[in-house]
Amino acid sequence: MKDLKHEPCSEFGACPECGKCDAYMNVNRNHWLVCHEHKYKWCAGLDLFGTWRDENDDTWDANAEHLAGYATVIPRYFMTAFEELRQVQMRGAA
Ligand SMILES: [Zn+2]
């Protein structure tokens, strides 16, 4: 499990309940982001982080088992600074 405490993960979505994203776990090339508090998971995508290449079936089996206890949700997305700026510009043009 990769701790995301020090990494921005908003571009991959956040827990719809609390807006947090605690870690990600790989199952093969799939990256699952999780909120431990609410036991939610959402798939960030495939092969975005190279870490899965250093793992093996044992790790993925353990991760899949852990994730089985988590509910799949649609994550919440926050606007990036760029999107915010674009919205401000659009409002100015209207
Ligand atoms: Zn949460």
Tokens in use for 29? 């090339």
Q: How far is the CA of 50 from the centre of ligand 1 (A)?
A: 25
Rounded CA separation 69/59 (Å): 16
Q: What's the pLDDT score for residue 8?
A: 45
The answer to whether the CB of 3 falls within 8 A of the CB of 60 is no
20-30 pLDDT per residue, tens: 888 999 999 99
Q: How far is the CA of 77 from the centre of ligand 1 (A)?
A: 13
Q: How far is the CA of 39 from the centre of ligand 1 (A)?
A: 7
37-90 pLDDT per residue, tens: 999 999 999 999 899 999 999 999 999 999 999 999 999 887 667 777 787 888
Cα→Cα distances 79→52, 74, 75, 86, 93, Å: 28, 16, 13, 10, 20
Cα→Cα distances 16→6, 54, 79, Å: 20, 30, 14
Instruction: Look at residue 11 and tell me whether its pLDDT is greater than 90.
Output: no
Report the candidate in 35, 27, 21 with the shortest Cα–Cα distance to residue 63.
27
